[in-house]
Amino acid sequence: MTKLSRFKLDPKHLGFFLNNFWSLITLLENKTEVRDFLKALLTHTEMKMLAKRIQISKMLVDGYSYGEIRKYVKVTDPTIAKISNILATNGDGLLAAVRHLQKIEKDIDKERMSITPDLKKRYPTYFLPEILIEETTKKIKKRRKKLSAKESL
Please state the three-class secondary structure of the chain as a single string: CCCCCCCCCCHHHHHHHHHHHHHHHHHCCCHHHHHHHHHHHCCHHHHHHHHHHHHHHHHHHCCCCHHHHHHHHCCCHHHHHHHHHHHHHCCHHHHHHHHHHHHHHHHHHHHHHCCCHHHHHHCCCCCHHHHHHHHHHHHHHHHHHHHHHHHHC
Q: Give the pLDDT score at 9.
A: 85
Query: For residue 153, what pLDDT is reported?
Result: 67
pLDDT mean across residues, the chain: 89
Q: What is the architecture of the domain spanning 27-114?
A: Orthogonal Bundle (1.10)
Residue 19 confidence (pLDDT) = 94
> Tens of pLDDT along 51-90?
999 999 999 999 999 999 999 999 999 999 999 999 999 8
Q: Is the pTM of this model over 0.75?
A: no
pLDDT band at 23 (very low <50, low <70, confident <90, very high): very high
- Decide if pLDDT at 38 tops 80: yes
